[in-house]
Amino acid sequence: MKDILIKNANVVSPADNINGKYDILVKDGKIAEIGSGLNTYGDADIIDADRLYAVPGLVDMHVHLRDPGQTEKEDIISGCKAAAASGVTSLLAMPNTSPTVDNAETVKYILNKSENADAHVYVAASITKGLKSEEPTELEELKKAGAIALTDDGRPVENTRFLSNAMKKAPKLNMRVVAHCEDLYLADGGKINEGEVSEKLCVKGIPASAEDCGTAREIALAAALNVPVHICHVSTKTSVALIRDAKNRGVKVTAETAPHYFSLTERELLKEDADYRMNPPLRTISDVDEIINGLLDGTLDAIATDHAPHTTQEKSDFVKAPNGSIGMETSLAVGITCLVKPGLMTFEKLIEKMSVNPAKILGIEAGTLSTGAPADIALVDLDEVWTVDENKLHGKSKNTPFKGRQLCGKVKKTILGGRIVFDDK
């Protein structure tokens, strides 16, 4: 593996208190040195990063790779190519595959297939077998196989006793429960946010209370058991308030939201385009405003994507289509466009939300450019303006809610363990 010398980059690494113009020397796949006027003696790739920002590789803690069993939508290799094009060097793969990631063999399959992929893949295994909330999985077996997190994402864990037992066991196994919060009785098969748009389109809605009641349950368990829980894809103002209150009371709760929840509203559904249908659904402008407030005041710790690929055929029927949208290749640019450029958030804080904090929550070696750390680096042009063309994205599916939108900020190169895995030439 050749050495890499990145010259004259604007280095932003919040975990290391670095924010300035420096060179970065990469040797043997690790950060060897950060400083001014660095030189490499021998064969090396020199990268002139004079106009670029160098940040620790992003950590997307909510990704559906669809592998095994649904590889017409995405697979581990194609999903990691999309990650590389996004500056994402580490991701957490969700368990709602076919078969479900509820056994050691499937965990090992994912880890083995991802060994030479263009991103580090971490595995979230399910809490119940087949995501059915009828029988708990063998958590110790899943941990031994290599899983680092537990969730029935795609669905909530309906059986609260199974969820409680998993939350009690997870800290002892050095795992994190990441919770899909939804009351399925309140959701009742709805398709979009319940409100003005659902009424206008005569489409069954999902009330915000479905998410809020789920969030309240998980917080209550974390408080009662005095154990951590991570709340996935927060979309409502009430859930933000519940999490803020819980944090103020010392409950061990962390939370994420996704770019579409701080940039889009339910009015996008008036297009009757299923690419704008996801679960939880797009909400109201007041929800969007409070999601942004939650990011700014620290209530929401992380930005993840809930990257959920589906085929064009599946998404062709607005009402019958499955929920989900892809998001990795637009995530950083949406953050820059909607949060950094308007002056709401510094770029450094955005990197905390997209790299440092997710790495801390998951307990993985990422989110830093410290000497000796793996050389997982994204080089970003903060000022490049580009239009999202779904046909030029790197994953298999095209179901992005940002298609045709002009965004600011572009990943130019991604380095994974000292290997250049993406180059936007």
The DSSP code sequence of 19-71 is EEEEEEEEETTEEEEEESS----SSEEEEE-TT-EEEEPEEEEEE---TTT-T
pLDDT tens per residue, range 85-97: 999 999 999 999 9
Domain residue spans of the chain: 3-54+373-423, 58-362
Q: How confident is the model at residue 206 (pLDDT cuts 50, 70, 90)?
A: very high
Q: Would you place residue 218 in the very low, low, confident or very high pLDDT band (cuts 50, 70, 90)?
A: very high
Q: Does domain 3-54+373-423 have CATH number 2.30.40.10?
A: yes
pLDDT tens digits along 310-366: 999 999 999 999 999 999 999 999 999 999 999 999 999 999 999 999 999 999 999
- Residue 39: the pLDDT is 86
Does position 41 have pLDDT exceeding 80, yes or no? no
Catalytic site includes residue 297: no
What DSSP element (H or E) covers 362?
helix 357-362
Do residues 249 and 296 lie in contact, with contact meaning Cβ atoms separated by under 8 Å? no
Decide if pLDDT at 246 tops 80: yes
Listed in sequence order, the residues at least 6 apart from 229 whose beta carbon sits closer than 8 Å to its beta carbon are: 167, 177, 179, 218, 219, 221, 222, 252, 253, 254
pLDDT in tens, 390-406: 999 999 999 999 999 99
Give the pLDDT confidence score for residue 418 in this predicted structure.
97
Q: What CATH code would you report for 58-362?
A: 3.20.20.140
Q: Which of 60, 152, 153, 306 is catalytic?
A: 306
Q: Are 92 and 133 contacting, i.e. CB atoms less than 8 angstroms apart?
A: no
Tell me what the pLDDT averaged over the chain comes to.
97
pLDDT surpasses 90 at 224: yes
- CA torsion sign, 58 to 268 to 326 to 101? positive
Q: Are 56 and 377 in contact (CB under 8 A)?
A: yes
pLDDT computed for residue 197 by the predictor: 98
> Residue 42 pLDDT more than 80?
no
